[in-house]
Amino acid sequence: SLCAAGEPNLSYRELKDLKKANVLHIDVRERWEIDRFGKIPESINIPLGELMEALQMDPTEFKEQYNQKMPSKSDPVVFSCLAGTRSKQALGFAMSLGFS
């Protein structure tokens, strides 16, 4: 299940359309889940337990750790997980840090 601030629930098709518009897709599942169930193309994996720290990193450190440019607080970001609970938590974390 997928979450974005403007649209709390997205379909996979909506996500594919958003990805064409340079939306950063963060998968908040655990690494073992990615290994077991597969990676969503062009997503970056930041397990929910690491997300608050990751979103507050120095941009250079973020790029080194996740091989991706750190999103600014106004960049479009979509979170996903397996069932939707963690992606909603991730959205709440990001918004509490000032992401719109």
CATH of the domain at 11: 3.40.250.10
Catalytic residue selected from 28, 54, 81, 91 = 81
> In the prediction, which pLDDT does 10 show?
72
- The conformation of residue 45, written as its DSSP 8-state character, comes to E
Average pLDDT estimate for 71-99: 91
Q: How far apart are CA 100 and CA 96, in angstroms?
A: 9
Res. 8: pLDDT tops 70: no
Res. 51: pLDDT tops 90: yes
Instruction: Give the domain extent around 53.
Output: 2-97
Percent of the chain at pLDDT > 90 equals 58
Provide the edge-to-edge strand list for the sheet that holds 77-80: 2-3, 77-80, 24-27, 44-45
Q: Is 3 a catalytic residue?
A: no
| Averaged pLDDT of the chain | 86
Cα 35 from chain centroid (whole Å): 17
Average pLDDT estimate for 29-35: 95
> In the prediction, which pLDDT does 76 show?
86
Q: Give Cα separations from 89 to 17, 35, 57, 83 (angstroms).
A: 23, 22, 19, 12
Domain count, the chain: 1
Token digits for 99? 């992401």
Radius of gyration of the chain (CA): 12
Percent of the chain at pLDDT > 70 equals 88
